[in-house]
């Protein structure tokens, strides 16, 4: 599932580890989401969206369109 997590994280100047700490997940989990090897659970997707002040729909490709477009 395409997403904009890496772009949002980088724009805030955060490392994967820092974002993982803030969300109580591992750096590896953040990396897997960013590289589209792992689709986060709904609760984690909601936490990510809240953290970045956006919506799940804006962060993740839920309707077949590219995320962020």
Which pLDDT tens digit goes with each residue over 34-69? 999 999 999 999 999 999 999 999 999 877 655 555
**CB burial class (10 A; 0-12, 13-18, 19+) of residue 40?**
buried
Which pLDDT tens digit goes with each residue over 17-43? 999 999 999 999 999 999 999 999 999
User: How do the domains of the chain map onto residue ranges?
Assistant: 5-59
What CATH class has 5-59? mainly alpha
Alpha helices by DSSP H, listed for 1-69, are: 5-11, 16-23, 27-34, 42-52, 56-59
């Amino acid at each position: 599932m395409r997403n904009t997590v890496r772009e949002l994280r980088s724009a805030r100047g955060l490392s994967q580890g820092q974002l993982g700490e803030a969300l109580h997940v591992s750096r590896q989990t953040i990396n897997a989401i960013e590289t589209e090897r792992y689709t986060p659970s709904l609760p984690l997707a909601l936490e990510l969206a809240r953290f970045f002040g956006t919506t799940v729909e804006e962060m993740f490709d839920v309707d077949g369109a590219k995320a962020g477009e």
